[in-house]
Structure 1
Amino acid sequence: MARDFWSAELRRVAERLRQSGQRVTRQRLAVFTALARLGGHRTAEEIYDVVRAQHPDVNLSTVYRNLDLGVELGLVTQTDLGGGVRRFELVRAERHHHLVCQQCGAVFELEDDLLEPLRAALRERYGFVARMDHFAIFGTCSACWSRSRAAGTRAPA
């Protein structure tokens, strides 16, 4: 089942590459395959380690170029979940975002439909059509907030 899912995802990636006039190369497929198999939000270096194991001739700059192309084509999302490190994820059918706790580093998924009122307000008030594909909102999780309140300290707002 999981193998069929990733095969379908990689066929979708290959089709999108072709539609945009890009070649479907061995290196490109290796990068997107590694990203799909790793799942989640991965650094270019993590992806590179997987690709290099099977394709020693592929270098880190090739991984970055293909990830950047994936972002440009809407196949891959790029997010900074803290620490200034770009993380990449293969785009899923449903958009999602993240809440990142600056105290403990926990990351929680945020459903896209919660952002629709913001999109509507931006369109109405500013005439701006926001592209909110994937991003992180930083703050304090409930567990850290509770701990700080119990300790009598103030958690950052």
Structure 2
Amino acid sequence: MKLQEAIESLKKRGYKTTAKRKDILSFFAKADGYRTAKDLLQHMEPAYKGISFDTVYRNLHLFDEVGILETTELNGEKHFRISCNQQHHHHFICKDCGKTKAINVCPMDQVESDLGNYAIEGHKFEIYGLCPLCQAV
């Protein structure tokens, strides 16, 4: 999802597109991979003196709820990235830098046959490790 698509998505759902929200979305649109609320707060503080963690989290939760951001948990902390909106795929996620690489293989074909009569409502498949750059450090 690109920045303008994310802004339009908010508008369509009746949410205000304030400068602060646009800056948050811009941060994630430029980020290469997952980022934390703390990363966002550090990015926002110079432009918005006194911005609270609560404001950051409220917006992150809203963007996740409306499908603009994707979330994952790394090292016990929630991380966010702008949604891909590509065809169905999964990710490798670097545990150090948060970069992602799309994985176009899905294990659900096997899982669905193993679960037979079960009604699967959704799934999430992620692989964690170190990207080539982080391995070199």
TM-score range, shorter chain: 0.7 to 0.9
Q: Measure, in 2, the Cα distance between the counterparts of 1:10 and 1:53.
A: 21
Larger relative contact order (CA 8 Å, sep ≥ 6) = 2
Q: Measure, in 1, the Cα distance between the counterparts of 2:17 and 2:98.
A: 36
Task: Check if 1:70 corresponds to 2:63.
Answer: yes
Displacement of 1:16 after TM fit? 0.5
Structure (1/2) with the larger helix percentage: 1
Q: Percent sequence identity over matched residues?
A: 24
Query: Aligned residue for 1:59?
Result: 52
TM-score normalised by L of structure 2 = 0.73
Query: Aligned residue for 1:127?
Result: 119
Contiguous gaps of at least 5 residues in structure 2: 130-137
Q: Map 1:16-55; keep pairs closer than 5 Å.
A: 16-55=9-48
Asked whether the equivalents of residues 31 and 48 of structure 1 are also in contact (C-alpha less than 8 Å), the reply is: no
* Greater C-alpha radius of gyration: 1
Q: Measure, in 2, the Cα distance between the counterparts of 1:119 and 1:20.
A: 35
TM-score normalised by L of structure 1 = 0.65
What RMSD in Å do the two structures reach over aligned CA positions? 3.3
Contiguous gaps of at least 5 residues in structure 1: 1-7, 140-157
